[in-house]
């Protein structure tokens, strides 16, 4: 009973730590384990040399192992392995293997001068034997000599490889859990959608019928009805997919903005700018509309539209989408700027948006929002996928 209570208490304390503190404690723990492995298992028992040489070798082993783990776990895997960019992954593997070999080569060439050269039993010291092999192989020996390559991997990369395999297994389990959670969330959204009092298919078909009757009577009204019908069509038939064309998502946003422009009869300064090719990319559906909904909800005072504005821009560059929204803070919203970050009425809400981003684009997106005295801005940066390519994230 006491043990269970202690476990719960430790778990709560760990979960309450900031992310940065967790990372520091994790790497400190990993460094401790690595030092023990080097000192008492991988290096210490074999060197049989003076304490300074042994400790310096263990220290080099520690820094190489932690460095390789940090490089691949935090940088290479998310950007290359998990996105199936094989060429980039192989390049990092080759360069890393060569770099640790150069470190080993240079360090051992210096340690040989402070080695005791022979063991107490009268045999040649381990570091001397290793240097005899490395000096013959030269600076590129890890690629030209199979024995040197095998030693280089065993000394510098083997323990890091084990750590990284554990990391990959954990990421796979976490990815599977996140996918299941996302599927459950999507199912809840679909059920809520089906519970609507008005059948959405009926409403969509009715809008088409109204459009057909008004197209020859009032062109402006029929155009608005058409845009509303396109919004319904997109919501009904496109958003059930994991990915949609970026051009379709931006068209959905554009139709929404056009309807808002009509609503405020052009007295509000509303702009929407796009720059860059869109048709070749795809994106998760309904990520952008939440920010647009919030902008109109908090940026326009229906009773006084003077000085109200909503400015939206989308830049597509280097396989990235840079989406930004700026809006004035109208009326009472200036008194409670923080309420601007609450969930939108009828939308997914900022909380849900952030959760979806963390599930769909883990570690690769950037979302920031800032509230100032008279205006609010939100910026979303997400990586784009080529049409026809399915991401693991």
Confidence at residue 259, expressed as pLDDT on a 0 to 100 scale: 84
Model confidence over 223-239: pLDDT tens digits? Answer: 777 888 888 778 777 77
What's the pTM value of the predicted model, to 2 decimals?
A: 0.57
Confidence at residue 136, expressed as pLDDT on a 0 to 100 scale: 93
Per-residue pLDDT 10s for the chain (393 aa) are 555 566 667 677 767 778 788 889 999 999 999 999 999 999 988 887 888 999 999 999 999 999 999 999 999 999 999 888 999 999 999 999 999 999 999 999 999 999 877 766 667 888 899 999 999 999 999 999 999 999 999 999 999 999 999 999 999 998 888 888 887 777 676 656 555 544 555 566 666 666 666 666 667 777 777 888 888 778 777 777 788 899 999 999 998 898 888 877 767 888 999 998 887 899 988 889 889 988 888 777 766 667 788 999 999 998 999 999 999 886 555 555 544 444 444 344 788 888 888 888 888 899 999 888 888 899 999 999 887 654 443
> Is the separation of the CB atoms in 99 and 188 below 8 Å?
no
265-393 domain in CATH 3.30.565.10? yes
DSSP state of 80: I
Find residue 367's DSSP bridge partners.
380
- CA–CA separation, 302 vs 265, rounded Å? 11
Tracing tokens 């013959």 back to the chain, one arrives at: 136
- For 23, residues 6+ apart whose C-beta sits below 8 A from its C-beta are none
Find residue 311's DSSP bridge partners.
271, 326
- CA–CA separation, 381 vs 365, rounded Å? 6
C-alpha distances in angstroms, 243 versus 190, 291, 360, 392?
Answer: 16, 19, 10, 12
C-alpha distances in angstroms, 203 versus 197, 228, 233?
Answer: 11, 10, 10
For residue 134, how many other CB atoms are within 10 A of its CB?
Answer: 22
Confidence at residue 228, expressed as pLDDT on a 0 to 100 scale: 81
Find residue 377's DSSP bridge partners.
326, 370
- CA–CA separation, 281 vs 239, rounded Å? 16
Radius of gyration of the chain (CA): 30
For residue 188, how many other CB atoms are within 10 A of its CB?
Answer: 10
- Numbered ranges of CATH 3.30.565.10 in the chain: 265-393
Model confidence over 188-211: pLDDT tens digits? Answer: 766 565 555 445 555 666 666 666
Tracing tokens 């929404």 back to the chain, one arrives at: 256
For the stretch 304-310, contacts whose Cβ atoms lie closer than 8 Å and that sit 24 or more positions apart, written own/partner, are 304/330, 304/331, 305/264, 305/267, 305/268, 308/268, 308/269, 309/268, 309/269, 309/270, 309/375, 310/257, 310/260, 310/268, 310/269, 310/270, 310/271
> Is the separation of the CB atoms in 281 and 250 below 8 Å?
no
> Is the separation of the CB atoms in 53 and 114 below 8 Å?
yes
- CA–CA separation, 217 vs 222, rounded Å? 8
């Amino acid at each position: 009973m006491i043990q269970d209570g202690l476990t719960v208490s430790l778990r709560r304390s760990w979960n309450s730590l900031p992310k940065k503190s967790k990372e520091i404690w994790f790497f400190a723990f990993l460094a401790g384990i690595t030092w023990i492995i080097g000192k008492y298992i991988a290096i210490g028992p074999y060197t049989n040399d003076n304490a300074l040489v042994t400790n310096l070798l263990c220290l080099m082993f520690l820094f190489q192992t932690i460095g390789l783990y940090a490089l691949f776990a935090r940088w290479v895997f998310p950007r290359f392995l998990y996105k199936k960019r094989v060429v980039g992954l192989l390049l990092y593997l080759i360069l890393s293997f060569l770099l640790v070999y150069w470190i080993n080569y240079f360090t051992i060439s210096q340690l040989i001068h402070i080695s005791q050269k022979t063991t107490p039993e009268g045999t040649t010291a381990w570091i001397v034997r290793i240097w005899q092999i490395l000096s013959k192989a030269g600076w590129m020996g890890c690629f030209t000599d199979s024995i040197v390559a095998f030693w280089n991997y065993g000394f510098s990369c083997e323990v890091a490889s084990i750590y990284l395999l554990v990391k990959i297994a954990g990421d796979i389990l976490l990815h599977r859990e996140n996918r299941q959670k996302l599927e459950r969330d999507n199912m809840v959204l679909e059920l809520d959608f089906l519970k609507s009092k008005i059948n959405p298919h009926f409403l969509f078909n009715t809008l088409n019928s109204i459009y057909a009757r008004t197209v020859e009577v009032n062109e402006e009204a029929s155009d608005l009805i058409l845009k509303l019908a396109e919004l319904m069509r997109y919501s009904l038939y496109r958003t059930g997919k994991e990915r949609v064309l970026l051009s379709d998502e931006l068209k959905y946003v554009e139709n929404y903005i056009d309807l808002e422009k009509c609503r405020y009869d052009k007295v509000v300064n509303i702009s929407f700018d796009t720059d860059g090719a869109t048709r070749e990319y795809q994106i998760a559906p309904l990520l952008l509309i939440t920010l647009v909904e919030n902008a109109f909800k908090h940026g326009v005072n229906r009773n006084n539209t003077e000085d109200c504005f909503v400015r939206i821009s989308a830049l597509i560059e280097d396989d990235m989408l840079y989406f930004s929204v700026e809006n004035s803070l109208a009326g009472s919203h200036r008194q409670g700027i923080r309420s601007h970050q609450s969930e939108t009425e009828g939308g997914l809400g900022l909380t849900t948006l952030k959760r979806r981003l963390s599930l769909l684009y883990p570690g690769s997106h950037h979302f920031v929002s800032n509230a100032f005295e008279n205006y609010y801005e939100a910026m979303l940066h997400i990586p784009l996928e080529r049409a026809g390519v399915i991401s693991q994230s």
